[in-house]
């Protein structure tokens, strides 16, 4: 019985630690970027973060290639060349997920964290069926508003627009696999680590 094809297949798959694409979405200021970075830091090379491309200008403290690839007006050219796994317009700027980077990391057996808005996450799931969708939420709407205001990167009109967008994004929550409340960063990170471990040990081919 231990020489059966099923036994050999599953042991081989687990030992190879198949690559995994983890899509982490949240409303603006929901903490997906901070949580994603913490996961990468704790993963010690086994968890990597995908870097998105955008047409917008860098905010204070953001670095090209680390926070985003700031491609400016060349974004549409990259779209025509089909360089993105998905792309869309959000708040007057374009954002896209570079396809080659995702494919390379999954092939290496890494767990790659893709922090992206809900529409982008669903678009990626359609192309990569075994990706994992995690919705990250603050503990309350009041906390979300406070985080937006504390960031200081948007004026009152922009804050109101982002809160309205957040309400619309909540309508997609049932399309996600998991919900994690981001009240305390360490607890949120540990919850997602547990999800990654469980997904790596699922029965069946990845």
Considering the domain boundaries, does residue 113 fall inside one?
A: yes
Mark out the alpha helices in the chain (DSSP H runs): 5-16, 32-43, 75-80, 99-107, 118-127, 141-151, 156-169, 185-200
Considering the domain boundaries, does residue 119 fall inside one?
A: yes
Domain range for 160 is: 17-200
Biggest alpha carbon–alpha carbon distance for the chain: 67
- Total domains in the fold of the chain: 1
Calculate Rg over the CA atoms of the chain.
Answer: 18
Q: For residue range 22-67, what is the model confidence (pLDDT) as tens digits?
A: 999 988 777 898 999 999 999 877 899 998 899 999 988 999 988 8
Q: For residue range 85-123, what is the model confidence (pLDDT) as tens digits?
A: 999 887 789 999 998 888 888 888 899 999 988 888 998
Considering the domain boundaries, does residue 21 fall inside one?
A: yes
Q: Are 96 and 79 in contact (CB under 8 A)?
A: yes
The reported pTM is: 0.77
Instruction: Look up residue 198 and give its two tokens.
Output: 């469980």
List the CATH number of the domain containing 35.
Answer: 3.40.50.300
Q: Return the sign of the alpha-carbon dihedral for residues 179, 182, 184, 186.
A: positive
């Amino acid at each position: 019985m231990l020489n059966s094809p099923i036994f050999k297949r599953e042991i081989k798959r687990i030992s190879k630690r198949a690559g995994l694409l983890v899509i982490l979405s949240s409303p603006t200021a929901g903490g997906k970027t901070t949580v994603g970075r913490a996961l990468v830091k704790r993963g010690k090379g086994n968890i990597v973060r995908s870097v998105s491309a955008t047409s917008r200008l860098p905010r204070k403290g953001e670095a090209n290639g680390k926070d985003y690839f700031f491609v400016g007006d060349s974004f549409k050219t990259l779209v025509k060349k089909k360089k993105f796994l998905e792309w869309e317009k959000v708040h007057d700027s374009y954002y896209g997920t570079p396809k080659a980077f995702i494919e390379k990391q999954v092939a290496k057996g890494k767990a790659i964290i893709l922090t992206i808005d809900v529409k982008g996450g669903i678009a990626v799931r359609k192309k990569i069926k075994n990706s994992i969708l995690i919705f990250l939420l603050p503990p309350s709407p009041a906390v979300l508003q406070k985080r937006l205001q504390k960031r200081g990167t948007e004026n009152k009109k922009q804050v109101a627009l982002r809160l309205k967008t957040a309400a619309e994004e909540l309508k997609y929550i049932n399309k996600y696999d998991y919900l994690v409340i981001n009240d305390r960063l360490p607890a949120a990170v540990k919850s997602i680590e547990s999800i990654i471990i469980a997904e790596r040990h699922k029965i069946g081919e990845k």
